[in-house]
Structure 1
Amino acid sequence: MTSISTATQQARPHAGPAWMVLALACAGQFMVILDASIVNVALPSIQRDLGFTPTGLAWVVNGYLLTFAGFMLLGGRAADLFGRRRMLVAGLLLFSVSSLAGGLATAPEVLVAARVAQGMGAAMLAPATLAVINTGFTDQRARARAFGAWSASGGVGGMAGALAGGAITTGLSWRWVFLINVPIGAALIAVAMMALAGTRDGRREPLDLAGAVTGTAGLAALIYGVMQSADHGWTSAPVVGPAGAGLLLLVVFAVVQARLAAQPMMPLRLFGIRRVAVGNVMLLLFGGIAIAMWYFTSLFLQNVLGYSALRAGLGQTPAAVAFVVIARLAAALLPRTGVRALVLAGCGALLAGFGWLAQAHAGSGYVAGVLGPTLLVAAGIGLTFPTLMAVATAGAPEGDAGIIGGLANTTSQVGGSIGLAVLATAAGARAAAEAGGSSPAAALAAGYDLVFLVAAGLALAVAAVSLLLPRHRRG
């Protein structure tokens, strides 16, 4: 608590103590990640009650993820211009109201619209939580601990989503998967009004509308195209059309930022900060690692070992706990070791864990085949993820804290979306190739094993990129 108190004295004055500011940021991140995962277990019940088609049902998940990733840069810049406190409260309000609408939905279109609005609320909220930490904790040790707690809260949110989704849907109703956000959001709004009451941020500067439109539309179109790859194939019109349009819009966005905008939404000078540029490249690669761990391990437990969704969630709980513990440890070590040492250690654990996990097959037991390697992988994620978020948001001017947070979150989300599409395609192709001479479970296991080997390769790539970071200097 001493270092956190010191950080508070050096930061912008807040009405609330440092622990309250940090708790608010962590709770906001928890909600954002929770809602990305809690709905998955409830999807069959939602389909039965509201009459979703299989294609339409996917948009209960995709509607949230698409707007969350697509609007994050805009949400980050809005936090810089209009104030982090305003955007955090506005994000919580939109998230809570749209959760209420989703919980009360009586038609598929209403629920999808509510999920789209939820994603927009999350895109306002997530960069603001990072900006609050970035500007509120200036002491190096306190800042590292804050990022460790923030990262751990996301891990807890993902774990809680897998478990709570099944429990709430079974014990109450799928509607409470959304309605539970309403009282939580109201409580967090009250905390935000107290904890950040003394915050003086934001500036009188017009929003770069051309940059906002091209950047947001470009990201949304690119992610939408990537999402279609699982159903239509990478060379199909539903993939190439939106993804190509998205890339073209992002090129226009870059030109607008570099040459046309008087006050650019995404100042390209920020990429001149080596830590920001290298950190975001590593986060882009890391998105595929996280997907391989949490998403494909869950599929392995269910489709190969025959676990139920709830039992698979419980099977991943030890790894989630390990991630939370190691993330907090990484936060304590970061000021002493520097970024590169932690990233290399984490990548070593990822390489060993995924290499071990790639040996799993239909006859593997849970302890030797899944538990052991996922604990190693979780340790690697715990060492690397909070470290990457800290480095990707460090060294930028305070007035750009929101856009830097939005960029880091966007990079991570885009990496995860592309990683999911590429890895799912690879797993499907490998499983199809093995289907003729193997049982269905064995063929699927071969596909997932390829995913884990690719993830090990991504860990090696992150380690290589980390060598571009400046060396750690003690003191």
Structure 2
Amino acid sequence: METDRSGPDWAVLSLLCLGQVMVVLDVSIVNVALPAIRSDLGFSESGLQWVVNAYALAFAGFLLLGGRAADLLGRRRMFVTGLAVFTAASLVGGLAQDQLTLVLARGAQGIGGAILSPATLTLLTTTFVEAPKRARAMAAWSAVSGGGAALGSVLGGVLTDLVNWRWILFVNVPIGVGAILAARALLPESRAERTTRGLDLLGSALVTAGLVAVVYGTVNSQAHGWGDAVTLGPLLGGVALLIWFVLHEAKIAAAPVVPLRLFANRGVTIANLVMFWLGCAVIAHFFFLSLYLQNVLGYDPLRAGPAFLPGAIAMTAGAYAGPPLLKRVGVRPLLIGGPLLSGVGLGLLALIPVDGRYAAHLLAPMILVTLGAGIAMTPLAITATSGIERHEAGLASGVINTTRQVGGSIGLAVLATVATTRASSLLAHGTAQASAVVSGYRLAFLVAAVFAVLGALTSLAAPGPAPAPVQPAARRTEPVEAGS
């Protein structure tokens, strides 16, 4: 059932793009503020990653559920709900006086983002039904999705330097309240016309809790070692929860959040493996770059924010270059070449000196890392959706986006553990503070380069030229909806 919308096209599209940019921006806006957050709330080097990972893990765990909820419960309703959760969590996080409150608020932001993001896309596809209008709307939505990362870095630096880090969260409050009011006035309410599937709340909770436990155990290994109960307990508990999740999805769930039958398709499996390795390699490198720029090179947040701009632009350029490159060389060369290019950039970052210079030691590697990731996006999306039924393309796209966040979270946990362990070992042997810290960052970048190369090697198993997509049965008339 759908209602006529009351807002003009430009206003509806602007609102939907605003919702998406809030979600994307809050991934990158926090990076530049990390040193200030650490200083203010007393985070350890390894504990600081939870400011990033709490958001990413909650977002990944509930993203597919959010898409399904929009279909079942109403797309405008879920858009407003996502905005409300995101806005309230931002307020709590900005007021946080201790580490736990901030981490929990970031997790709640991730849940809000997981509700909001798929609602923006499904509202867009069901509101702009004519092909030319939908194409223009999708182009705008994709542009703000890519540009949000660049905007987040700059805005994070400006707010942290001119006010304080809390405003990277407070800024969402007036925007969120205004967007909620606008949504009620501009957006139609709609649901999927025919659906019998419910919401797999248990599945989402199991995968999120399992991933959090695995990451927590990995982080604890730095201080307690791999054999300590404080490390093994969460690790084994997390693995048990993830096994339960797989059994639940395969045997019990009436409406699994991740239908495992998708992975019978080799393209889906390989694309998700490649995305996992690429997420491990690329997402975490922003964390270390921010710390290196500010803690080692002495950049203030106002300088550190724009320093990320070339990389963000390179990623966007790579994503836009993907389709024309596909016509010239095909899917597999880009699927292999993108991760390799990122691996080269990360390998160069593994050579950074203590007294490094931005132009000489960071600029070119940063561009290579993000350009490679951007180039890989289109072939990964094609590989992940080729050979499956058309009505499941949105689900397959949602799965690979979830995999990217999971890879980024696990990669950050592993690389932060590697970096802090290396630095602690060198400090114990009398190495100077700056040299020990940079040595830890170098090792983290080197391991990240290995992850990227593993992504390229995994791409070798990708299927050949994609077959023509399976046409939907004649009786199906509803539009394809991402996240469903």
Q: Same fold by TM-score, threshold 0.5 exceeded?
A: yes
1:251 aligns with 2:243: yes
Note if contact 1:131-1:405 (Cα within 8 Å) is conserved in structure 2.
no
Aligned to 2:471: none
- Say if 1:54 and 1:105 are closer, same or farther in 2 by CA, change over 3 A: closer
Aligned to 1:353: 345
1:82 aligns with 2:82: no
What is the identity, as a one-letter code, of the residue corresponding to 1:454? Answer: V
1:115 aligns with 2:92: no
What is the identity, as a one-letter code, of the residue corresponding to 2:89? Answer: S
Give the TM-score, by structure 2 length.
0.78
Aligned to 2:197: 205
What is the identity, as a one-letter code, of the residue corresponding to 1:67? Answer: A
Give identity over the alignment, percent: 47
- Say if 1:156 and 1:345 are closer, same or farther in 2 by CA, change over 3 A: same
Aligned to 2:457: 464
**Matched ranges for 1:53-452 at <5 A:** 54=43, 61=52, 63-103=54-94, 113-129=104-120, 153-189=144-180, 197=188, 200-201=191-192, 203-334=195-326, 337-389=329-381, 391-392=383-384, 400=392, 403-432=395-424, 434=426, 436=429, 439-452=432-445
Q: CA deviation at 1:19?
A: 8.2
Moved more, 133-142 or 171-180: 133-142
Note if contact 1:144-1:335 (Cα within 8 Å) is conserved in structure 2.
no
d(CA) in 2 for partners of 1:304 and 1:47?
A: 15
d(CA) in 2 for partners of 1:271 and 1:36?
A: 28
Note if contact 1:357-1:370 (Cα within 8 Å) is conserved in structure 2.
yes
Q: CA deviation at 1:166?
A: 3.3
SS in 2 for 1:361: coil
Cα displacement string for residues 434-459 of structure 1 (whole angstroms, at most 9, x for unaligned residues):
55585433333333232232222222
Q: CA deviation at 1:419?
A: 0.9
SS in 1 for 2:157: helix
- Say if 1:294 and 1:200 are closer, same or farther in 2 by CA, change over 3 A: same
d(CA) in 1 for partners of 2:152 and 2:20?
A: 13
Cα displacement string for residues 2-39 of structure 1 (whole angstroms, at most 9, x for unaligned residues):
xxxxxxxxxx9996899888766654443223223434
Aligned length in residues: 462
Note if contact 1:233-1:239 (Cα within 8 Å) is conserved in structure 2.
yes
Q: CA deviation at 1:247?
A: 1.5
Aligned to 2:26: 35
- Say if 1:462 and 1:365 are closer, same or farther in 2 by CA, change over 3 A: same
Give unmatched runs, 5+ long, in structure 2: 469-484
Q: CA deviation at 1:426?
A: 2.3
What is the identity, as a one-letter code, of the residue corresponding to 1:470? Answer: P
Moved more, 240-249 or 348-357: 348-357
d(CA) in 2 for partners of 1:98 and 1:265?
A: 24
Q: CA deviation at 1:112?
A: 5.2
RMSD (CA atoms): 4.1
d(CA) in 1 for partners of 2:43 and 2:255?
A: 44
- Say if 1:347 and 1:36 are closer, same or farther in 2 by CA, change over 3 A: closer
Note if contact 1:218-1:247 (Cα within 8 Å) is conserved in structure 2.
yes
d(CA) in 2 for partners of 1:348 and 1:139?
A: 39
Q: CA deviation at 1:111?
A: 5.1
d(CA) in 1 for partners of 2:72 and 2:135?
A: 26
Note if contact 2:31-2:286 (Cα within 8 Å) is conserved in structure 1.
no
What is the identity, as a one-letter code, of the residue corresponding to 1:249? Answer: L
d(CA) in 1 for partners of 2:174 and 2:181?
A: 11
d(CA) in 2 for partners of 1:48 and 1:437?
A: 24
Cα displacement string for residues 287-318 of structure 1 (whole angstroms, at most 9, x for unaligned residues):
12113432222333334433334323332222
- Say if 1:396 and 1:19 are closer, same or farther in 2 by CA, change over 3 A: farther
d(CA) in 2 for partners of 1:440 and 1:48?
A: 17
What is the identity, as a one-letter code, of the residue corresponding to 1:255? Answer: L
d(CA) in 1 for partners of 2:95 and 2:148?
A: 23
What is the identity, as a one-letter code, of the residue corresponding to 1:471? Answer: G
Cα displacement string for residues 334-360 of structure 1 (whole angstroms, at most 9, x for unaligned residues):
466543232223233223322333333
d(CA) in 1 for partners of 2:386 and 2:10?
A: 21
Moved more, 127-136 or 328-337: 127-136
